[in-house]
Amino acid sequence: MRFADEAVCIGPAVLSESYLNYSRIICAAEITNADAVHPGYGFLSEDAQFADICKSCNIKFIGPSPEMIEKMGHKSLAKNIMKEAGVPVIPGSNGTTKNWKEAREIADEIGYPVILKASGGGGGRGMRIVNDNKEMKNGYSMAKGEVEKAFPDSKIYLEKFIIKPRHIEVQIFGDDFGNVVALGERDCSIQRRHQKLIEETPATGISEELRSKMFEAAINGAKKVGYKNAGTIEFLVNSDEQYYFMEMNTRIQVEHPITEMVIGRDLVKDQILVAAGSPISYSQESIKSSGHAIECRINAEDWERDFIPSPGKITSFHIPGGPGIRIDTHAYAQYEILPYYDSLVAKVVAYGQNRDEAIVRMERALDELILEGIKTNIPFHQKVLKNDNFRKGLINTSFLEDEIKNGNS
């Protein structure tokens, strides 16, 4: 904010009166005579209604159309659309389920375990695993209760539960002229309570054949729906290298810098260009990915106390540098981390010619990163980077549970 040419106060800390308030944001855009709004990756970045309001105010929303955000926000609908485009999707209900009996019939057919998900959800909220036929009645009603509390759309869909999958997402980009490119994949399997902590690209241990199949599927899916601007197609990949579409994110994501590092492009610049009506200026064939990049998300959290938030003043701050190190942060010495917002303080991104070099550079960068006055998850990252299975690239969505105990144990 201090670096900006102009800044406008949009309201108090309460989110409903500032960052989540459509009219406050539109007012700020009007006051500054802004042509466009970049929605970032939180708050209103996947809010179809906000994108629609921008449109009606003649302010360009830097992202896909309101209709696209709406469609992809209905997770079961998004699956059907991708299935029609020939993208493999996780087996399960065709659309949402009417009741527990229907869910049980489908599950009896495809086999247990299954997972119940909120069609209006995402990010892991309102999910429930059902292990057998006898669990369905109770499991369904528990899921329904949670989903009704959490989301306006309380419909539920069902999927085969994939055991210890890898979470691999493909970065795609579309323009106004029907061009779509795939800019590489990211492995985001290292998560805790559906919060990603470490991401890397390229994904380790997947064949070139699987990678190109996923790119092709992602491009076909995005072309089929006429996708514009930056988006991510999320896949789950099982131990037999089968890949299944899970959901689509209609925003730029926190972890986009690792893709920028290996392809040498500025994705936010590209978002602005495409939003301004420029065509994508390069072909799929011209995209050359080289080397390996890893991101560690540094959060203001006390990882020894079950990752509870640790807001407060940063008393000293030293940022590491050197070859292949990129730090994205809004913080500085004497900056106060407020309790109202996300606990992400910095992204440490390490690039190397190969995975080993990226890991070693990341370890050095984390050693040299000094953040005092608050607790952070830096020691957690150091523990993961030392882990033998992580070093071997043997990771999946259960890695943390299976391999990393918390601070005191």
Footprint of ligand MV4 on this chain (CB under 6 A)?
A: 90, 115, 123-124, 127, 159-162, 165, 167, 191, 194, 236, 397
Residue 86: φ, ψ to 5° = 85, 15
CB 39: neighbour CB atoms within 10 A? 20
Q: How far is the CB of 127 from ligand MV4 (least distance, A)?
A: 6
| CA separation for the pair 393, 351 (Å, rounded) | 16
DSSP symbols for 212-254: HHHHHHHHHHHHHHT--EEEEEEEEE-TT--EEEEEEE-S--T
Q: How far is the CB of 312 from ligand MV4 (least distance, A)?
A: 29
Between residues 164 and 364, which has the closer beta carbon with respect to ligand MV4? 164
Helices 75-84 and 66-73, interaxial angle, to 10°? 100
Q: Which helix (H) or strand (E) holds 262?
A: helix 256-263
Nearest CA-CA partner of 67 in 84, 49, 81, 82: 49
CB 149: neighbour CB atoms within 10 A? 10
* CA 215 distance to own-chain centroid: 17
Between residues 240 and 285, which has the closer beta carbon with respect to ligand MV4? 240
Q: How far is the CB of 165 from ligand MV4 (least distance, A)?
A: 6
Residue 137: φ, ψ to 5° = -55, -50
Catalytic residues: 251
Residue 56, amino acid: S
Helices 256-263 and 267-275, interaxial angle, to 10°? 100
Q: How far is the CB of 114 from ligand MV4 (least distance, A)?
A: 8
Q: How far is CA 142 from CA 138, 159, 226, 337, 368, in A?
A: 6, 17, 37, 36, 47
DSSP-derived 3-state class of residue 158: strand
Q: How far is the CB of 396 from ligand MV4 (least distance, A)?
A: 9
